[in-house]
Amino acid sequence: MKTILLSTVTILILGVSSIYSQGFWEPQTNITGYIATEFNYFDELQDYRTNYGSAVSEAGILITYQPTERFTMKSVFVYRPDFTFDQMLNEAFGQYSLSQKVNIKVGRFLLPVSPMNTYYYAPVNTSATLPVLITNNEFFPLNIDGVSVNGSIGNEFRVSYDLFGGGYRNTTWLKTGAVGFFGDESAYFKKQIGSEFTVDQSYQNTYNVAFGGSVAFSYNNFVTLGFSAFKPIDETVPLGVNLPENALFPGSPATYIIQEFTFEKIAYGVNLRLQHENTRFVAELWDSNLKADGGDVDLNGAFAELSHTINRFTPYVRYEQQQTDDVEFRRYTAGINYKPTFERALKLEYLFYDHEVKNINGVVATFIYSF
């Protein structure tokens, strides 16, 4: 709360000073929004109330106010079922532009370490689902309350950068989708293999502080190569431990206890984007140096997505790999995005989860209306 209050005061100071420091400007206000309804179906899904369902998966509103040429304020609120108000307030920041090379952003903003993270909102995402490394929030959170210094240099050949620091709330394995399976895959597969350790629910909404940055090298719109890093401060994480029978003493029943571990982590990634006319290829690879009480923990993920637009249709395919400690799975996605008008989009995709215990097939259909 203190961070948000400080951000708001700073935004107002920057905004007022910039208004008086510039000549005449006609203030600009832009309000847009969207509603996304979603249908999910999964086969062989265990321990869920249902394998299928439909719901309003997202409903967002974006407000941009630009009182001067150099100062912009932006807020984005996205309703999602079972999310708290704080989790639904995705962005609320002010940005002052000294030049194209230097911009100062203060408030809550989407974390800029992953280009795909900025496609979090349904209307701007080609596919009906986001990559697991985005929805599972294991490498970095969706957003952060803090300060960013960003900008770009060059035109045909361009170098872009973003350095940031601030606080955020942990939301690892936060369930989304009509069934609530997306974002929960790692926890689900941990149950399937009888994993001894898992992150306890009391970890959700705990607060932490981090810093990081990204740099990207682009040539026209054809190729972009980026590098990113995210470093949270060391924190205490409650891990749930599943103890089998006789683990505590002879005759003791199977039980669940919580133990606290000190997590030291730095996550780093590389991303690639290729664009040739209507064909686009995007890929990301993330790894981490994660230690729990000094012991190494495996955490890495990657995806590659290829899409091609033909008139109003965009077919796409995606491959993903995710490893979280003792759980590893792959996800294959194929779908089509039909966009008859700017306001409407219909997406239909098939998903296949490849896992050592049991594979899962899924179908997602999404209709999006923007205004």
pLDDT of 274 reads: 98
| Residue ranges with strand state E in 277-298 | 279-292, 295-297
Q: Phi-psi bin for 261: left (phi > 0), alpha (psi -120 to 50), beta?
A: beta
Say what the pLDDT of residue 23 is: 57
Distance CA 160, CA 28 (A): 26
Tens digit of each residue's pLDDT, the chain (371 residues): 444 434 444 444 444 444 444 457 899 999 999 999 999 999 989 889 899 999 999 999 999 999 999 999 999 999 999 899 999 999 999 999 999 999 999 999 999 999 999 888 999 999 999 999 999 999 999 999 999 999 999 999 999 999 999 999 998 999 999 999 999 999 999 999 989 889 999 999 999 999 999 999 999 989 999 999 999 999 999 999 888 887 778 888 888 899 999 999 999 999 999 999 999 999 999 999 999 999 999 999 999 999 999 999 999 999 999 999 999 999 999 999 999 999 999 999 999 999 999 999 999 999 999 99
Domains of the chain: 102-370 (2.40.160.10)
**Burial status of residue 323 (CB atoms within 10 A of its CB: 0-12, 13-18, 19 or more):** middle
- Which pLDDT does position 150 carry in this prediction? 98
Torsion of Cα atoms, 87 then 212 then 320 then 91, to 10°:
30
Q: Report the pLDDT value the prediction gives residue 3, as an integer from 0 to 100.
A: 46
Continuous H helices in 130-231: 132-135, 185-193
Instruction: Detail the DSSP E strand segments found in 98-140.
Output: 103-110
pLDDT reported for residue 264: 97
Tell me the C-alpha distance between 210 and 201, whole Å: 21
Beta partners for residue 305, in sequence order: 282, 318
